[in-house]
Amino acid sequence: MINMINYKKILFLFTIITLFNFIPKFSLASSLDGVMDTLNVEVATKGKKLKQYFENSSLNLSFDGTIKAYKFSDKKYEVYINNQIKETGKWKVHGLLKNQIKLEPENGSKKYYLKKISKKDKIYHFNKLPGSEGAKKTTVKILSSDIKLASNEKDSNKQIEEPKKKKRS
């Protein structure tokens, strides 16, 4: 009898402690988007989404009034200015967090990096590895692209999916 009472007390305490640990986490996750908006935090697109965004796509970017058209294929890229090819090279997803694109021009010029910002039509251009000393960051506006924003892919997929029909026995 005494063991049963102790068992119920321990189970009750365990349940209460577990609830207090999980309730704040759920409320934090739902309010995190609002906090990030008010703090103006920019999150970079990462990993597979970043690769899908650039792979086999074309982007028209505005660099201080100059419009450059980037055409990305499997592992190669081309840069056009006024419909003339100005640069070719290789690209790949780079970094510890896989949140930037490393572009290596074939003509021997310096490597540079692009970082796509989620939910926004802008890309950051870095002349060196982002975060390294002396890296110059330039904001580049995406004028047009032949693909959807990486952050909006989930929304479009939800609209396409049809509800599954229940099987009748």
- The answer to whether 86 touches 97, Cβ cutoff 8 Å, is no
Domain assignment present for 106: yes
Find all residues with CB under 8 Å of 102, minimum gap 6, and list them. 91, 92, 93, 94, 111, 113
pLDDT at 138: 92
Q: How far apart are CA 56 and CA 60, in angstroms?
A: 14
Domain assignment present for 38: no
Weakest mean pLDDT among 4-8, 106-110, 129-133, 134-138: 4-8
Weakest mean pLDDT among 12-16, 122-126, 163-167: 163-167
Domain assignment present for 59: yes
The DSSP output letter for 105 is E
Weakest mean pLDDT among 52-61, 128-137, 150-159: 150-159
- Can you tell me whether residue 93 is helix, strand or coil? strand
4 class by beta-carbon count within 10 Å (0-12 exposed, 13-18 middle, 19+ buried)? exposed
Domain assignment present for 36: no
- Can you tell me whether residue 126 is helix, strand or coil? strand
32 pLDDT more than 80: no
Domain assignment present for 92: yes
Model pTM?
0.64
Entry field: residues in the chain: 169
Q: How far apart are CA 46 and CA 97, in angstroms?
A: 7
Number of structural domains found in the chain: 1
The DSSP output letter for 110 is P
